[in-house]
Structures are given as structure tokens and as C-alpha cells.
Structure 1
């Protein structure tokens, strides 16, 4: 959609915020996500940047710093692992431009209103006050905010760009393989597809004494996944 809306491809940078691995080396995100983001950016000739939190990925932050799983009211996973890291890229890009005036930055995200009540309330475009400074103005833009899911898939099909195979496995969202904000069905399906990762989260749940979701433990999710016929 950005290709259709923006005619300055050399000014577009795709940023993927990598969430790291567990202590045993399992990727927190769906395997191949970063490589796919790189491939998609290359398809359109966009610059590609990948970020990682210097103090550790999501699993390490959870285990040694936060000591409890994120939740809808406390989405530190997004703020610390994604938003903060993305702003660092913006800072670096603005420095590269070396303008004699404040830079104008359009920060584009693929959030849609249909995904949640919280996302439905988000404005299509707004100034990111926390990320704006004397050197730059950042505006957050949601170009497909009003799209239905069918429109998304129609656009993907028309574009010819590959998508992640987790969707073909039945996942309805692509974020962390085991996301605290995911539906029960997605979590059960993910636990079936990635049982080793689910087991590591279950062990961490016991270690921290904190449940994965307020109304659902990882142990419950694993039990439900094991009960589903192959």
C-alpha cells in the first residue's frame, strides 16, 4: 500500500524489531519472520533495518527484569522491544539526513480497526508526541486502518509478495508465536506447532510464579493443544 501511496521509495525504510530468542535459543517470533521482512522490503527496493534491544530480547527481559508476563494494560513488550527500538532507527536516519531544519517523519504501521477495540479507537494519523523533538516531527500513520481482512489478502495476492506460512497453518495473527494478547484458538494452535517453545514458557511461568494470561496458564494451553486430534 505504501508503494501505491508514496512516490519516494528512496526515502522509505522498513524496520523489523526482532524480539530475540529464549535462553535455549528458540526464536520468540515465528521462525523466518525477519528473513521474510527483509525479502518483502527487497521486493520493492526499500532499505531494510533490523533492530534488537541491547539489554536482551523479550524472553530475557521477562525472566530477569519484568518478572511477569505483559498484558493488555501493561504492554511493555511493545513499548520496550518495538516502539523504543524503532525510534532509535528514526534518530539515526534523521542524523544521516543532516538537514538544516527539523525532519518530517511518517511512521507507518499496519494496524487495523478490526483487530481489537483498542486499535479501532486509534486515529489514522497523529503526531507521536513522545517521539517528536526539536530535530524531528514524527507522525504515526495507519494506511490500512479501515481495511477488512479480505481486503488485506486481496492486496497480498495482487502484490505477488510472499507471506508467512504460519497463516497457512491456521494462525490468524503473526506476532510472537505465543502472544499474551492472542486468542485461545491461536495459542492452542501455536502450542501444537511449536511445543518446545510452549514448554519453555510453561517452565518460566512456574519459575516466576506468574500466569501467562490472567485467565489462562501456559500449562492449560499445552493441555488443550495435546487434547486436539492431529
Structure 2
């Protein structure tokens, strides 16, 4: 896949933000981003008390150990750690409620379980910062929202703007900018940064998984989904049961039942 990647991403004026929010899935990209942003803040003289790490907890659909690893990464740098989650149940619950699995064109898994929940956290953080800092009482709180998205991952991601205003998250009480600090990085740069940090990465990568998101991501390839099912058979069975109950397949061209069948085939 030939993807055109920008040459560089400029670093915003980190000292101008009241809160620097780092989204962590505990995956390799957010892990490398965390190390990079902390180093950039240290170099700019920005106190680590301004940096907050947030993990959007997806519940049972995440790889085991994901939440604990995200917390461990944050604590290694002495950073405050927040967990957000959808109050009405995890993703598999929502799939059963909606009667449809997410898709590339209907990614409610991201919008409802991540974006919307992080926006609620921003509201709480802005209020808390204003209480602790009376000098900010009569102005919007400035928040820098950092995400570990890389252009190399897909054509769709390569089209994203690596830094700019987040109009959907901005309101009269807060001004939010979105920054993709490692947007131009290669996978080699990501792993080099992780090794240099000395912090552990999630073992799912050692199994051969290319990304750490939901165990069964609708955007993943069939090979990765079968591998995930081999290591998470009970969860795959839960997905297959929901699939049968709602009458909607996991992917239009690939059911979870078929993924399970392939996962149970003897290795040749």
C-alpha cells in the first residue's frame, strides 16, 4: 500500500495549554506518542501536572490487560490517569441493542465509546482546572487533545489534518485543539521509541497482531481476526451468539461464525 506521508508535523506551543490530554489505548502508537509528548513537554518546561492520560475502556471487547497496561504507562511518567466508558454497557452490549455491528461507514464504536466519553471528561477537566486556578475563571480553558494516529496506517488516516481546532469539542467554556504528534512516524520509529522507553508493550503484538484495539475490529483483516479468535475463543463465541440473535453478521463478507470455524481448523 503506497501512502503519501507529510514530511513533518510542527509542535504546537505546549505551554499555552491549560490541559494536555493524551488518549491511550495502550497500543503501540499511543504508547510511543505518550513518551514523545512527555519528552516534548519536559523540553518546553511544561509541568507534568498539566498532562492527563485518558483510556476509553471498551470492557470485555478489549484485549485482556489493556486497561492495566495503559494505567502502568501513565504512572511510569507520574501522570494522572482517567478512565472513561459508556454508561449503558460495553460495545457488545450496544451491538445487541442496536441490532447491527459497526462498519467502516458506521463507526459508532469510536464515536460512542471513545469520542463522546472523552468529550465528557473534557467538561470535567475544564471545571476542575477553573476551580484550582481562579485566574482562568473568566476565559475558556485551553485543551490540547493528543491522539496516536499515523498517516502510514491507511489512505483515510493520511488525509487527516495533524494539528488544528477541534470545533466539535470546543464551546464557550473550553477551546480544544487536536494534535497528532506522531502522524508522520513509521512503524520502526514507533518501536524504537517504545524500546528506548523501557516500558512493556502489550503481548498481543508478540502473538502477531498488528494493532491493539478491540479484539475483533470490523476494520481488521481476516487473518488477524482468526488469530484473535484463536487466543480469545470465549469472546468469539459471545460475538457469534450475538450475531445469531440479531441476524446481522460481524462483517458483510465475513461472519464471526466463519471466523470461529477457521480458528478451530488444525494448523498445517
TM-score bracket for the superposition, by shorter chain length: over 0.9
SS in 2 for 1:72: coil
Residue in 1 that maps onto 2:57? 18
TM normalised by structure 1 equals: 0.94
Residue in 1 that maps onto 2:109? 77
Residue in 2 that maps onto 1:23? none
- Give 1:47's match in structure 2, choosing from 80, 90, 94: 80
Distance 2:220 2:266 in 1: 18
Residue in 2 that maps onto 1:87? 119
- Deviation string 1:59-92 (CA, Å, 9 cap, x unpaired) is 111112x210001110000000001101111110
**RMSD across aligned positions (CA):** 1.1
Distance 1:78 1:223 in 2: 28
Q: 1:222 deviation in Å?
A: 1.2
Residue in 1 that maps onto 2:40? 5
- Deviation string 1:75-131 (CA, Å, 9 cap, x unpaired) is 000000001101111110100111221111100000111112211111111211111
Count the aligned residue pairs. 223
Q: 1:185 deviation in Å?
A: 1.4
SS in 2 for 1:140: strand
Residue in 2 that maps onto 1:165? 203
Structure 1 gap segments, 5+ residues each: 21-26
Q: 1:171 deviation in Å?
A: 0.6
TM normalised by structure 2 equals: 0.81
Residue in 2 that maps onto 1:24? none
Residue in 1 that maps onto 2:254? 216
For CA contacts below 8 A with separation 6 or more, give which structure has more relative contact order: 2
Q: 1:228 deviation in Å?
A: 4.9
Q: 1:3 deviation in Å?
A: 1.2
Q: 1:51 deviation in Å?
A: 0.9
Distance 2:260 2:101 in 1: 17
